[in-house]
Amino acid sequence: MKKTLMAMLIAAVVAVPVLGAMSDEKFGAGVTLKDATPIAAIHEKPAEFVGKTIRIDGVVTAVCQEMGCWMALSTDDKGTRTIRLKVDHGAGIVFPISAKGKNASAEGVFEKIGTDDKEGKEAAGESGAKTGDFGALYQLKATGAVVR
């Protein structure tokens, strides 16, 4: 009886981390950087991060409804400070609408986009941002993500 109970306890302890890992959904190259750059820090001094490969962690507040080519991560579920992450069409990454409300990590190159170019207009339209707003000026060109 004691051996059976001990075996069940060991199986349960081993299964919990495995089940947790199974719930992670990886997109593209996933996330390889160990440390995340806080979204608040990026909002405060975005120019310092332009051209750098960074990781961000947050709550998914929005997902592209048409092709799954972008997702927005925020410091909280209210979208207080958000960073849009975008993937190239045809890159093999499609973010599911079901990711909304879940925690996620994303990695890629942080970039400045112009409010007058295609990316900036698209970003502004999707986020409701106005000319000069953070969402119409910057984004993370994502190479991978993990949704939990």
Tally helices (H) and strands (E) across the chain: 4, 6
Q: Which of 11, 3, 32, 1 is closest to 145 using CA atoms?
A: 32
CATH architecture of the domain 25-147 equals Beta Barrel (2.40)
pLDDT digits (tens, 9 = 90+) for 22-70: 589 999 999 999 999 999 999 999 999 999 999 999 999 999 888 889 9
Question: Residue 129 in contact with residue 113, Cβ under 8 Å?
Answer: no
Give the β-pairing of 70-74 and 103-112.
unpaired
Report how far residue 41's alpha carbon sits from residue 23's, in angstroms, rounded to the nearest whole number.
29
DSSP H or E stretch at residue 39: helix 39-44
Read off the pTM: 0.76
Compute the CA torsion angle 86, 102, 29, 34 (nearest 10 deg).
110
pLDDT one-digit tens code per residue, 80-139: 888 999 998 777 899 999 999 999 999 999 999 876 656 666 665 555 555 556 666 899
